[in-house]
Each structure stands twice: as structure tokens, then as C-alpha cells.
């Protein structure tokens, strides 16, 4: 860290090791990208949406439970803003314990771990609906980089860690420009672009583009170009 530089802090935690002081000399952030305005927008969308969709989510939860053994909601630790871990919620779309079977975290088209209900949920992105709760809690945003597993952060270089300056999103720039069909290095580059160019207008454009991508069922699974392609753990 540069002598005299103010450590980046989040909810009283020193996160300098996770998100280093920017080389560009911009002042350290004490709030995720977008600040209070973005948070207000998230709550204005997530609270009414959760109330309106509660019966739908209850029905989907029952369908998941009936369709295959296991819980309706899949919980997994993910890295949030500034690398702070949180529990990410999704409707379970694969067999219980799928992350310990077959390809692990990698999901491909035709993956036999995906349940019948899960194929529909994933096709329409309905498996993401419980993340509205994450948005209300403040773990996530409506728009932002998709939440990653903490172990992947060790592979980030200093520039790539800038994606952690934003709350993870239910959708994001990478999701409307290739989704799972592009490699992680390209997705992270798009996330950093989002962090560096954020505006409320950009969030609205991404939301509109997300509707198009979901309705067309585009780029849901990794092809020969997609997947995790980062080098070994970075030194800083």
C-alpha cells in the first residue's frame, strides 16, 4: 500500500488486501459503486417485486421440492462488495449436492445433474428470484458483477479486483454481453468496465437488455470458449 494512503474499509473491516488502493489515484471508496442512489433504487425495485412475486416464489419452491429430493433453496457462500462473504440464495436447479459430483461448479448444456424443474427455472432465469432477498439485505444489487465464489478472488490481479468495488448483481454487463459463453477473464473485464463507467442510465439499459437475453434464452451454458481461464493465485 502506498505510504499515507487511506485503507479501504467496509462496515468497519479493513479490506485493503482484497481491493488494493487503486493505481489511478482515485480516492478509496467507503460505499459500493453507486452509493446511496443505487441502494435506494435497489430497494425501490426489490421490495415491491418480492411482495408481488411471493406467491410465484412459493409455488416454485413447492415445485422444486416435489420434483427432486432436497431443499427448495440452494445456499452458497459468495464474495460480495469488497470481498465480504455472504450467503447467496437461488432456487435449487440441480440434484442435491451437485457441486460435489461430476463437473463440480462447471455446468454444461445437457448436464444430467440438472433437474426437470431446474431446466425450466434456468431457461427463464427464475432460479435467481430468491436473490431479491439478498438485494433487500444489502448483500447484492439489482445490477452489478455476478457474485463469485471466494476461492476465485485469489486468482485476480490488481485490476480485476476492482470488480469487488460493486455489490454483486442479479444481472450485469457481462450477462448481457455473452453470459456464460465467454471466459471469466472477459467477464471480469466487462465487470471492471461497469465499475469504472457506472451510471443509473447504464443500470437501466442493462435491465432492458437482460429481458431480451432471458426471453431469447441466450448464452446460458459454457461453450468451448467459456469457463474459468484465470492463471494461478495472484501475488497482489
Give 34-43 pLDDT, tens digit per residue.
Answer: 999 999 999 9
> What does the pLDDT read at residue 184?
84
> What does the pLDDT read at residue 82?
85
Kindly state the cell numbers that stand for 113: 445433474
pLDDT at 198 over 60: yes
Decide which of 105 and 3 is more confident. 105
Decide which of 19 and 175 is more confident. 175
pLDDT at 27 over 80: no
Number of domains in the chain: 1
Tell me, yes or no, whether 24 lies in a domain: no
Alpha-carbon span 1 to 78, nearest angstrom: 26
Tell me, yes or no, whether 25 lies in a domain: no
Tell me, yes or no, whether 231 lies in a domain: no
Tell me, yes or no, whether 20 lies in a domain: no
Tell me, yes or no, whether 201 lies in a domain: yes
Tell me, yes or no, whether 72 lies in a domain: yes
Kindly state the cell numbers that stand for 27: 480516492
What pTM did the predictor assign? 0.81
Q: In which domain, by residue range, is 36 found?
A: 31-216
Q: Give the Cα-Cα-Cα angle 127, 132, 138 (nearest 5 degrees).
A: 135
Q: Give the Cα-Cα-Cα angle 199, 34, 181 (nearest 5 degrees).
A: 65
Kindly state the cell numbers that stand for 67: 420434483
Amino acid at each position: 500500500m502506498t505510504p499515507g494512503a487511506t485503507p479501504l474499509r467496509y462496515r468497519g473491516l479493513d479490506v485493503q488486501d482484497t481491493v488494493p488502493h487503486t493505481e489511478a489515484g482515485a480516492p478509496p471508496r467507503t460505499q459500493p459503486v453507486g452509493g446511496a442512489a443505487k441502494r435506494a433504487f435497489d430497494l425501490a425495485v426489490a421490495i415491491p417485486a418480492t411482495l408481488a412475486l411471493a406467491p410465484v416464489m412459493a409455488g416454485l419452491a413447492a415445485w422444486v421440492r416435489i420434483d427432486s429430493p432436497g431443499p427448495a433453496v440452494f445456499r452458497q457462500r459468495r464474495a460480495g462488495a469488497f470481498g465480504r462473504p455472504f450467503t447467496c440464495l437461488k432456487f435449487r436447479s440441480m440434484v442435491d449436492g451437485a457441486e460435489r459430483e461430476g463437473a463440480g461448479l462447471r455446468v454444461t448444456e445437457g448436464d444430467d445433474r440438472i433437474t426437470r424443474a431446474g431446466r425450466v427455472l434456468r431457461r427463464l432465469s427464475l432460479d435467481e428470484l430468491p436473490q431479491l432477498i439478498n438485494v433487500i439485505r444489502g448483500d447484492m444489487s439489482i445490477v452489478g458483477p455476478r457474485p463469485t465464489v471466494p476461492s476465485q478472488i485469489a486468482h485476480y490481479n490488481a485490476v480485476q479486483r476492482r470488480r469487488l468495488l460493486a455489490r454483486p448483481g442479479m444481472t450485469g454487463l457481462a450477462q448481457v454481453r455473452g453470459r456464460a459463453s465467454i471466459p471469466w477473464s472477459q467477464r471480469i473485464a466487462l465487470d471492471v468496465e461497469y465499475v469504472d463507467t457506472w451510471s443509473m442510465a447504464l443500470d437501466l439499459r442493462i435491465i432492458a437488455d437482460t429481458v431480451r437475453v432471458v426471453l431469447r434464452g441466450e448464452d446460458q451454458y459454457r461453450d468451448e470458449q467459456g469457463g474459468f481461464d484465470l492463471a494461478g493465485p495472484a501475488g497482489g
